[in-house]
Amino acid sequence: MAGISRAFLLAAGTGLALLAMPARADHLDPRVAGPLQQMFRLAAMQCQQGNPQACQRAQQMRRVEMDLSRAQHACQAGNGQACQYFQNGAQQVVGAWQQQQQAGMIQGGGMAGGGQGYSSQQMTQDHQQRMRQQQQQFQQHQDRMRQQQNQFDQQNQRWLEQHRR
């Protein structure tokens, strides 16, 4: 993911028709999705005004959004490498967004968490919370399966007793 912010700021290319990020961006952490969507909207608007470099930036942001979505999902499933990839990508997105804000290209904060970046401490806390939730869900599933198996065993035992007579 090295150089992702450069790709946002320096890429060149062709036209783009849509002004909204795909629905997958809604599943990204809001501290990443917000800045990414703001940068995408700016690039899409500039693209519609005839700027081919902005068209390429918008297309690149779509690819980044998809990559980060996949990495976040894999991270939530317990993949440590995906967590690192997501964290690095999130920091690069927020960094590029902050650069655009400082340059006056994007107005207003609009980022969840008071405009703060995605720190490694927050990433760790989020990961630990998701792991606890997954462990709890797994345990609940195991309990339901045990209960269903017990019911099945009881029904099977009754059936066997009826047919032995």
What's the CA gap between 102 and 106, in Å, rounded?
8
What band does 8 get if pLDDT is binned at 50, 70 and 90? very low
Domain borders along the chain are 4-118, 120-165
The residue that leads in pLDDT, 128 or 69, is: 69
Tokens of 10: 């320096």
Q: Which of 11-15, 17-21, 89-93 has the lowest mean pLDDT?
A: 11-15
pLDDT tens profile 18-62: 334 444 445 788 888 888 998 898 888 889 888 888 899 899 989
Return the HEC string of 124-144.
HHHHHHHHHHHHHHHHHHHHH
What is the overall mean pLDDT for the chain?
77
* Predicted model pTM: 0.51
Provide mean pLDDT across the span 135-152. 94
